[in-house]
Structure 1
Amino acid sequence: MSLKLFQETFGEAPAVSGWTPGRVNLIGEHIDYNGGAVLPMALPLGVDMALTPIEDDLAQIVSAQFEGVAVRQLSETASHQWSDYILGALAQVSPAQGWHAAIDSSIPFGSGLSSSAAVSVGALRLAREALHLPKLSAKEIALTAQSIENNFIGVPCGVMDQMAVSALAPGEAMLLDTQTLAFEQIAIPEDWCFVVHHSGVHRELSDGRYAERRATCFAAAEKLGVNLLCQAPISALEIENNLTDIERQRAAHAITEHARVIAAKAALDQRNLSGFGKLMIESHASMRDDFDITTPAIDQLVDVSVECGAIGARMTGGGFGGCIVSLVDAGHKESWRKRFEERAAGAKFIC
């Protein structure tokens, strides 16, 4: 827990503390920056954090997951260190205010379950509370956290992760319109169970592959005459245009993935377990074949999950590693999990 870590490191109780959930994206990958709808769910895993403002211009940050105390100037730029996300949030709230900070995360690093968004959102809320600043709405916090990731960290992500961890409680899902940021909170049926396993392949979105796909999507949208790819009909890909083969593939994923999210929401409303599962499988195939963000290890895990009885399975998160999410009947979860983990020795159960 961050409270104990804070007291052991800094010799006093923190001024504020709190917890922010991670999220798993059930369906709707790489379309939050393309104007599509997305369907994330908050997890029981999260980031626990404790803060105290100090009379200094340094942020001294300790984590239960990393050794030592990171001592950072508030004026520093991001430098690919684990403390970058909390530093960016603290500097955004007050660029001259020093801090003692402790964090403890139950979200595996590089898993695609939004540990970075949880850190940014949690730090923004707690730092504002500690300095007695006006409380911001979930949407305002999410947009600020997104700007930190875009402008400080250098990852041109959309706003889905930040909205999900800012607005949802564990077990709640959200249909989010990423153009308007209007959202509907959704209760998952009691007999549905989403199970997350880590592939063992760790990911790093700041390595350029995420930005490359975003740029390709924007180029395709411009050639199709729309502001955002998800505004284009699928028929637009069938007419003569000057899209490159790669642009056509990326556009095909974005446009069809948006349609799958809308269909998935309808399946949820109708409690259509098999229909939702089928859409998850189609989503993974699109990420693999059109968007090229899966890995052979993850593709194999998805196949094994379905072969062992999952109704649906797909990679979740920005890609190139991380986790898969499987949909199983709640009554068969343990028997399915036993079969799956016997065959997928490299997979680690997350939640």
Structure 2
Amino acid sequence: MLDDRKILKWSAVPSVKIRSKAIDSSMGSLKRLLDALLSSSAEIVQELSSIYGAETIRYQKPRYGFFLNKFLEHYPESTNPVVVRAPGRVNLIGEHTDYNGLPVMPMSINRDILVLASSRPDNQVHLKNLDDRFPDSHYEIASQIPPFAKGEWGNYSKAGVQTILDYVASKAESQKPPAGMNLLVYSDLPSTGGLSSSSALVVANALATVHLNHIQIEKALLADLLAKGERYVGTEGGGMDQAASLLGERGQALKIDFFPLRVKHVPLPTGYKVMVVNSLVKAEKTRAAMEDYNRRPRECRLIVALLNKVLRRLKGENCHIDRLADLNKSNLDDYQLQTAVDQALPPGSLGLGEISRKLETSVQQIEAEYLTTKEGRILSQPLKGFPLRQRYQHVLTEAKRVEEAALALEHGQISRVGDLMFESHRSCAEDFEISCPELDNLVEIARDAGAVGARLTGAGFGGCVVALVQDSELDRFTQIVKRRYFQEYLKIVHPEIVIESRDFSDLILTCEATKGADRVFQASTDCSP
């Protein structure tokens, strides 16, 4: 269950105390922190080890040192700097179940987004990224921050900040509005890879705002608020990504239930590694990809509407569900449920005309209520109609796979976990139709390379495959995937993709479960122990 002690109390003693008799300024403190990193301070090593593991120190220490040095270059006059981190996540099983109120089982990973933030004397936010693919931007903090053009990366910063602004405004007690900030972003988390880099960026910007302004908020509540707040950028997912980033623990997967948010930590098996392989097919957040992605939760809302119509007829006007998870609480026996499903969701696809007849309303009303995006755009009907029975089949069976996988992990039944992962991929590909030929091919190569289980992970339409691999098979797995997918298959199917990696370590990732998002260091003039 969720640890009630996980409350973000930013007025507490910093995680790492830079001991000194006197510190002249906050930037002086940051320079001392940089010196401590470079000199392998015991406290610094202990803090980074508690997050990432002692075996990663040789990588993380220079990474943080480089980051702090760049901040000093970009913002030499800043005050009260704070370093926060937000890990990505890989979803082991449970795809597109979260927004239906059904469980998922992700883990936070040892790839993350770092944000170094400092206060400004005005209401401006100046945003820089050390990855030059993402240009500098700036905006003003206001009660309602207008978005940049769709697709601009700065909208993820705005989403995190706007969420905190709305939270502060909702509190009964008066609180000074958050101040302006200088923000520097540094990530080793692949973008467009299905590892939730977008949500991690939202989480990190929200945490920076919280820390700099001494706002207190419980982590589970923040995860819930950010799940809604990320809709600012135009995507309409569930709450898995934010909860996984914020609530992760080392060596643990998270079985997450929703409405209300509940987290159970599930031990990951020793002797196995979670491998993430980037297909290099980008799950772009373009208009076409967003339409495909956003159509899935809306199809699920149509399923709920059609089921409610039948349930009222069969069980009376008081029989109603808000989301598919509510079927578990509807007191329907198996025969009644199957009857409702058969009547509401016949095999094949339904066009808008047939859906309007079943719901006894107009096509225009359906488009307005179920298919209109936040921006006012109407999502189009697929060429062959909406395959709602297939979508329902995936969501319900996937939720069962999550429950069974969590039990199998607890009982050490690793081969069963692998079977469930393969079953999940088949369902994602055939019933929910979020896979692509490259992901299907990569899953089969992973199976041949010795993976106990493998499946696509993330929203789909490209991105990554997650595989569970025994330690003794890691070298063989890596070599087979490298040769058969990247050096053979991909060169034939996508000759335009240039692979720049020499050792493939940024394409075939060995992932460890890490602590969730939090403040790492804060340079402050307060040196009290």
CA positional deviation for 1:96: 6.6
> 2:179 aligned to 87, 97, 101, which one?
97
Q: Equivalents in 1 of 2:196, 2:77: separation in Å?
A: 30
The equivalent residue for 2:155 is 84
Uncovered stretches (5+) of structure 2, i.e. residues with no partner? 1-63, 166-176, 309-320, 329-333, 350-386, 491-503, 511-529
Asked if the contact 2:279–2:463 (Cα under 8 Å) also holds between the matched residues in 1, the reply is: yes
> 1:116 aligned to 184, 188, 198, which one?
198
Asked if the contact 1:205–1:318 (Cα under 8 Å) also holds between the matched residues in 2, the reply is: no
1:19-75: CA deviation from partner (whole Å, max 9, x where unpaired):
121110000000000111110011000011111121223211111123542122333
Q: Equivalents in 1 of 2:307, 2:344: separation in Å?
A: 9
The equivalent residue for 1:228 is 323
Q: Equivalents in 2 of 1:230, 1:6: separation in Å?
A: 46
Q: Pick closer, same or farther for the CA change 1:46–1:102 going to 2, 3 Å.
A: same
The yes-or-no answer on 1:316 pairing with 2:457 is: yes
Q: Pick closer, same or farther for the CA change 1:12–1:349 going to 2, 3 Å.
A: farther
Q: Equivalents in 1 of 2:148, 2:420: separation in Å?
A: 38
The equivalent residue for 1:164 is 244
The equivalent residue for 1:149 is 230
Number of residue pairs matched by the alignment: 349
The equivalent residue for 1:200 is 280
> 1:219 aligned to 302, 311, 328, which one?
302
Q: Equivalents in 2 of 1:144, 1:89: separation in Å?
A: 10
Farther-moved stretch of structure 1 (107-116 vs 206-215): 206-215
Note the 1:294-333 alignment, pairs <5 A. 294-333=435-474
The equivalent residue for 1:72 is 139
Q: Equivalents in 1 of 2:409, 2:434: separation in Å?
A: 26
The yes-or-no answer on 1:17 pairing with 2:75 is: no
Farther-moved stretch of structure 1 (47-56 vs 37-46): 47-56
> 2:271 aligned to 167, 191, 196, which one?
191
Q: Which has the higher contact order (CA 8 A, sep 6+)?
A: 2
Aligned residue for 1:100, secondary structure, equals strand
Q: Equivalents in 2 of 1:122, 1:71: separation in Å?
A: 17
Q: Equivalents in 2 of 1:280, 1:243: separation in Å?
A: 27
Asked if the contact 2:449–2:476 (Cα under 8 Å) also holds between the matched residues in 1, the reply is: no
Identical amino acids, percent of aligned pairs: 29
Asked if the contact 1:25–1:317 (Cα under 8 Å) also holds between the matched residues in 2, the reply is: yes
Asked if the contact 1:47–1:118 (Cα under 8 Å) also holds between the matched residues in 2, the reply is: yes
The equivalent residue for 1:4 is 69
CA positional deviation for 1:192: 2.2
The equivalent residue for 1:241 is 343
Q: Pick closer, same or farther for the CA change 1:32–1:311 going to 2, 3 Å.
A: same
Amino acid at match of 2:146: E
Farther-moved stretch of structure 1 (73-82 vs 289-298): 73-82
Asked if the contact 1:62–1:103 (Cα under 8 Å) also holds between the matched residues in 2, the reply is: yes
Q: Equivalents in 1 of 2:148, 2:222: separation in Å?
A: 20
Farther-moved stretch of structure 1 (202-211 vs 181-190): 202-211
1:258-278: CA deviation from partner (whole Å, max 9, x where unpaired):
000011011101111110000
Q: Equivalents in 1 of 2:130, 2:250: separation in Å?
A: 22
Aligned residue for 1:33, secondary structure, equals helix
Amino acid at match of 1:137: E
Structure number with greater Rg is 2
The yes-or-no answer on 1:178 pairing with 2:258 is: yes
CA positional deviation for 1:170: 4.5
**How does the TM-score come out when normalised to structure 2?**
0.63
1:300-346: CA deviation from partner (whole Å, max 9, x where unpaired):
00011101111110000011111000111122212221122111114
> 2:432 aligned to 281, 286, 291, which one?
291
The equivalent residue for 1:27 is 93
Amino acid at match of 1:168: G
1:218-269: CA deviation from partner (whole Å, max 9, x where unpaired):
1112222332224447874575313263110100000000000011011101
**How does the TM-score come out when normalised to structure 1?**
0.93
Uncovered stretches (5+) of structure 1, i.e. residues with no partner? none
Aligned residue for 2:100, secondary structure, equals coil
Asked if the contact 2:104–2:399 (Cα under 8 Å) also holds between the matched residues in 1, the reply is: yes
Asked if the contact 2:106–2:244 (Cα under 8 Å) also holds between the matched residues in 1, the reply is: yes
